[in-house]
């Protein structure tokens, strides 16, 4: 026996309360303070009572959203407040009761739904037990509903979970498939909410198509006059149909639907304003001279030709007349073109009496449907050129060439990575219909190319046939897709764990880890790790998904540590590496970090890169140091001459320590004074000695760091630069400066130039003040 399931007409007041995202109640004014302490806020205050509201708890909010969704879909009967009650023993009114969160019933289907929610995205250890409990209720639900709500034909019973912020394992999902219990997450719920907002009651049949694909619909078999013809290699039929009938069997392949792993999705979401305009046109008795284009499963069609009065040649040209029997099932009529025209009839008075022309193809593959959709719409404004990249999977999923199928798998994998909530790329990949922002800053094209151009899938092929598969290859498309997603999720989740705050910044100031060039470089590092492991005897293609991810994990964690140890300046320099050359440099430096932890890791090209980088770093460092010496000479000599008056030797004798003057004299004598001016014989380290001896004069200019530190500490940077100068001046030593040291030199040069400019500006201001004073 099922209790607390009521006709929809008796639930209108409950529907109004359930549809609101908050709970409401009225209390006496004296109780308001206590209630506000419990999270309630005042909506309206009266003399006798005060109206309060507060947000619903997340679990209640989820149940209410699901209930409201089914209510708006137009079910005949639904569970009331507190859910439905299902007795253990049908005949015994005192037997134990199981509660079901939401029950919805119409003549075709009975839904029994449990809702589970969490504040944070977490695993649910008790889910296996909850799943088993719901699965055991299937027979009781079917019998109880049949007894309480008789139907002229047998109903389909559907058991389902709606989940919010629940992370399921693959084992959980497999148990649900085995038990025939459906799983929907928050993105599915958002999709159906949007769909019912646009379509009204017709959205229910779109949901049925997802829940009961291929299940027959009792009482809907009809015969219609039709013309059978050939279009290219495909059989097709032209016939009239009422919109009401077609709405029940139709299905639209929406890309905005939550299941990114669904291969057969190629149409964009229905436009509500466009539906409204077409509905108004229908209400004015407008007609549609063009066909609704659909694909109907072959098993749902039975064509019986009638006597033809025309000749064979004419029949070949114009088609064959006959009766077409439609034996529909849920999800049997896929709408290829014309979804707005059809769904404008949803809930319209003319849906039953009107007629629309249908062009039905017979059992063509989803890839052919997608191509037909592109052919029909490609010239129209409504289809973006960028959509073709996103639709690659739908267009080429069953291609003859394994290389093309791999590209289709990669296209779909990228979309799954964006859609799955446990993915580090969740909501971060810019698809055709999404707007780029600071978080959604990784393009589908960029990530597609990064994955597709690596030999993750095919090592050897012959005439489109895979001879030797790569680490990601599993033979079948669906299995290869699942493996690709699993491994990439694992690899990048570990990378994110090393610097989560950096990853989460996206393209904001200070970000750069979760952007196109970085993600491409990290993918290239993954390829080099896989090549290293296979070169050393590992047969990665033979491992299951978990074992493959496990063997890659130490390298991913080492890479994560590499990113985690980067300073703010390191991160900025990393982000400044752009384009193909920048990606290569990022990859090589990451490989260098891995080699430091795994000495046997020596990918091809790394040693050559490091050798060239050493050469380049020393050359760059020498150029910077030369500029620094010239800059220091200009600053120090100018300041000394200004301080001690430029009247010959005063600045030199009074400003330069005697020990430095003696060394300069020796250098000049040994060089026969070829450089001319004596300041030309100052070494870089001499400027530190001068600064220390004239600290009051040079602290503002050459003091680096906190002003409270000692002058030795504040001028230590000059000593460090001198040591680096000695390294680059002796190439035969084989010692090279690091990239970080070169960056430090660049930073010092920039800082010193800023100091010089600031002092020059101050001198100009002083000069202006003097001139003003003299004028007065």
Q: What is the mean pLDDT of the chain?
A: 88
Tell me the pLDDT tens digit for each residue of 271-308. Answer: 788 888 999 999 999 888 889 999 998 889 999 999 88
**Are 222 and 174 contained in the same domain?**
no
User: How far apart, in whole angstroms, are the C-alpha atoms of residue 503 and residue 493?
Assistant: 10
pLDDT of residue 66: 97
Q: Are residues 539 and 450 part of one domain? A: yes
Question: Within 13 Å of residue 214, how many CA atoms lie on the same side as its CB?
Answer: 2
Residue 162, pLDDT > 90, answer: yes
Give the gyration radius of the chain's Cα atoms. 37
Query: What confidence score (pLDDT) does residue 284 get?
Result: 92
- Do 288 and 398 lie in one domain? The reply is no
Answer yes or no: do 396 and 306 share one domain: no
Q: How confident is the model at residue 766, as a pLDDT? A: 53
Predicted confidence band of residue 764 (pLDDT cuts 50, 70, 90):
low
Residue 481 in contact with residue 413, Cβ under 8 Å?
Answer: yes
What is the Cα–Cα distance from 513 to 313, expressed in whole angstroms?
66
Residues 420 and 303 in one domain: no
The reply to whether 462 and 419 lie within a common domain is: yes
Of 382, 404, 431, the residue at which a domain comes to its end is 382
Task: Give residue 256's pLDDT.
Answer: 47
Q: What is the pLDDT of residue 388?
A: 64
In sequence order, what are the residues at sequence separation of 6 or more whose Cβ sits closer than 8 angstroms to the Cβ of residue 145? 2, 105, 110, 155, 157
Q: Write phi, then psi, for 258 (nearest 5 degrees).
A: -65, -25
Say whether pLDDT at 442 is over 90.
Answer: yes
Query: Are 698 and 637 in contact, with CB atoms under 8 Å apart?
Result: no
Q: Is the pLDDT of residue 662 over 60?
A: yes
Which two tokens mark 380?
């129209």
Specify if 47 maps to a domain: no
Vertex 197 angle, CA 192 and 202, to 5°? 70
Whether 210 maps to a domain, the answer reads no
pLDDT at 685: 95
pTM flag (> 0.85): no
Question: What is the average per-residue pLDDT within 424-451?
Answer: 89
Q: What percent of the chain clears pLDDT 90, i.e. is strictly above it? A: 60
End-to-end CA separation in angstroms for the chain: 106
**pLDDT value at position 263?**
42
pLDDT score for 266? 45
In a domain, 101, yes or no: yes
Domain shared by 645 and 506, yes or no: no
Inside any domain, residue 205: no
Residues 133-147 have a mean pLDDT of 93
Asked if 362 and 401 sit in the same domain, the reply is no
Contact 205, 211 (CB under 8 A): no
Q: Which residue has the tokens 């879909």?
A: 73
Q: How many CB atoms lie within 10 A of CB 50?
A: 21
Residue 198 lies inside a defined structural domain of this protein: no
The CATH number linked to 167 is 3.40.1350.10
| Weakest-pLDDT range from 3-17, 201-215, 732-746 | 732-746
| pLDDT surpassing 90 at residue 644 | no
Per-residue pLDDT tens digits for 215-254: 888 878 889 999 999 988 899 999 999 999 998 888 886 5
Strands 356-362 and 292-296: parallel
> Per the domain annotation, does 567 fall within a domain?
yes
Q: Which residues face 585 on adjacent strands?
A: none
Q: Is-contact 370 268, C-beta < 8 A? A: no
| Domain-ending residue, one of 577, 604, 631 | 604
**Which pLDDT score is estimated for 58?**
93
Given this model, what pLDDT does residue 254 score?
A: 58
Write down the pLDDT at residue 260: 43
For position 586, what pLDDT does the model report? 94
Does the pLDDT at position 672 exceed 80? yes
- Clarify whether residues 475 and 499 are in a common domain: yes
* Chain segment 311-338, per-residue pLDDT in tens: 665 556 678 999 999 988 888 888 888 8
pLDDT of residue 486: 96
Residue 495 has pLDDT above 70, yes or no: yes
- pLDDT greater than 80 at residue 686: yes
Per the structure, the complete domain to which residue 465 belongs is given by 389-604
Once rounded to an integer, what is the mean pLDDT over residues 58-77?
A: 96
* Cβ(561)–Cβ(594) below 8 Å: no
| Average pLDDT value for residue range 749-754 | 91
Residue 30 lies in a domain: no
In a domain, 680, yes or no: yes
**pLDDT confidence tier of residue 703, bands split at 50, 70 and 90:** very high
**What pLDDT score does 195 carry?**
87
Shared-domain flag, residues 407 and 537: yes
For residues 326 and 462, state if they share a domain.
Answer: no
Regarding whether 535 and 500 lie in a shared domain, the answer is yes
The number of domains in the chain is 4
Query: What does the pLDDT look like over 332-382, one tens digit per residue?
Result: 888 888 888 998 998 899 999 999 999 999 988 877 887 787 777 655 545
Q: Say which range, 252-261, 361-370, 618-627, has the weakest mean pLDDT.
A: 252-261
Domain boundary among 359, 382, 405: 382
């Amino acid at each position: 026996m099922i209790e607390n399931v009521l006709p929809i007409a008796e639930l209108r007041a409950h529907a109004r309360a359930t549809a609101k995202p908050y709970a409401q109640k009225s209390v006496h004014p004296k109780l308001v303070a206590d209630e506000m302490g419990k999270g309630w806020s005042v909506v309206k205050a009266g003399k006798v009572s005060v109206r309060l509201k507060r947000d619903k708890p997340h679990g209640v909010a989820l149940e209410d959203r699901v209930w409201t969704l089914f209510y708006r879909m137009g079910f005949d009967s639904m569970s009331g407040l507190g859910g439905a009650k299902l007795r253990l023993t049908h005949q015994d009114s005192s037997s134990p009761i199981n509660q079901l969160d939401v029950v919805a019933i119409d003549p075709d289907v009975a839904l029994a739904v449990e809702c589970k929610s969490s504040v944070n995205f977490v695993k649910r250890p008790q889910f296996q037990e909850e799943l088993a409990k719901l699965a055991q209720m299937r027979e009781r639900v079917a019998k109880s509903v049949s007894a309480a709500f008789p139907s002229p034909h047998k109903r389909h019973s559907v058991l389902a979970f709606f989940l919010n912020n629940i992370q399921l394992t693959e084992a959980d999902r497999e148990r649900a498939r085995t038990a025939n219990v459906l799983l929907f997450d928050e993105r599915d719920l958002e999709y159906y909410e949007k769909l019912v907002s646009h379509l009204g009651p017709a959205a229910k049949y779109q949901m049925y198509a997802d829940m009961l694909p291929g299940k027959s619909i009792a009482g809907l078999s009809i015969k219609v006059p039709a013309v059978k013809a050939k279009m290219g290699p495909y059989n097709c039929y032209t016939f009239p149909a009422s919109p009401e009938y077609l709405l029940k069997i139709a299905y639209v392949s929406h890309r905005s639907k939550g299941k990114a792993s669904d291969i057969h999705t190629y149409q964009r979401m229905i436009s509500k304003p466009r539906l409204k305009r077409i509905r108004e046109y229908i209400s004015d008795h407008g007609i549609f001279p063009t066909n609704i284009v659909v694909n109907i499963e072959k098993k749902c069609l039975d064509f019986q030709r009638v006597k033809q009065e025309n000749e064979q040649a004419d029949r070949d040209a114009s088609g064959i007349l006959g009766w077409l029997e439609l034996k529909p099932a849920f999800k049997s009529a896929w709408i290829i073109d014309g979804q707005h025209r059809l769904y404008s009839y949803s809930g319209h008075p003319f849906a039953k009496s009107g007629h629309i022309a249908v062009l039905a193809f017979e059992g063509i593959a989803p890839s052919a449907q997608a191509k037909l959709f592109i052919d029909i719409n490609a010239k129209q404004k409504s289809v973006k050129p960028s959509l073709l990249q996103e639709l690659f999977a739908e267009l080429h999923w069953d291609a003859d060439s394994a290389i093309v199928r791999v590209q289709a798998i990669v296209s779909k994998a990228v979309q799954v990575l964006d859609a799955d909530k446990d993915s580090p790329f969740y909501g971060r990949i810019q698809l055709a219909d999404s707007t780029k922002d600071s978080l959604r800053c990784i393009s589908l094209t960029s990530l597609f190319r990064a994955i597709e151009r690596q030999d993750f899938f095919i090592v050897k092929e012959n005439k489109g046939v895979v001879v030797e598969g790569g680490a990601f290859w599993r033979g079948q498309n669906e299995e290869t897709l699942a493996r690709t997603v699993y491994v990439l999720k694992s690899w990048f989740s570990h990378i994110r764990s090393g610097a989560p705050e950096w990853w989460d910044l996206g393209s904001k100031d200070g970000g750069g880890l979760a952007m196109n060039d970085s993600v491409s470089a990290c993918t290239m590092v993954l390829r080099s790790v896989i090549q290293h492991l296979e070169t050393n005897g590992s047969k990665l293609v033979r491992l299951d998904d978990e074992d493959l991810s496990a063997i890659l994990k130490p390298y991913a964690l080492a890479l994560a540590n590499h990113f985690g140890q980067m300073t703010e300046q390191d991160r900025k320099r990393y982000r400044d590496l752009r384009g193909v050359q920048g990606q290569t440099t990022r990859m090589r430096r990451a490989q260098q970090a891995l080699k430091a932890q795994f000495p046997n890791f020596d990918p091809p090209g790394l040693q050559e890169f490091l050798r060239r980088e050493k050469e380049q770093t020393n050359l760059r460092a020498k150029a910077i140091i030369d500029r620094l010496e010239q800059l220091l000479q200009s600053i120090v000599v100018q300041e000394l001459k200004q301080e001690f008056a430029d009247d010959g030797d005063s600045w030199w004798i009074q400003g330069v320590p005697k020990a430095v003057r003696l060394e300069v004299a020796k250098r000049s004598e040994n060089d026969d004074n070829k450089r001319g001016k004596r300041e030309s014989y100052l070494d870089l380290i001499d400027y530190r000695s001068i600064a220390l001896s004239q600290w009051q004069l040079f602290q503002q200019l050459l003091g680096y760091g906190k002003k409270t530190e000692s002058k030795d500490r504040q001028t230590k940077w000059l000593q460090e630069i001198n040591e680096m100068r000695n390294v680059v001046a002796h190439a035969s030593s084989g010692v090279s400066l690091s990239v970080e040291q070169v960056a430090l030199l660049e930073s010092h040069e920039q800082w010193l130039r800023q100091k010089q400019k600031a002092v020059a500006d101050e001198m100009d201001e002083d000069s202006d003040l003097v001139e003003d004073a003299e004028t007065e």
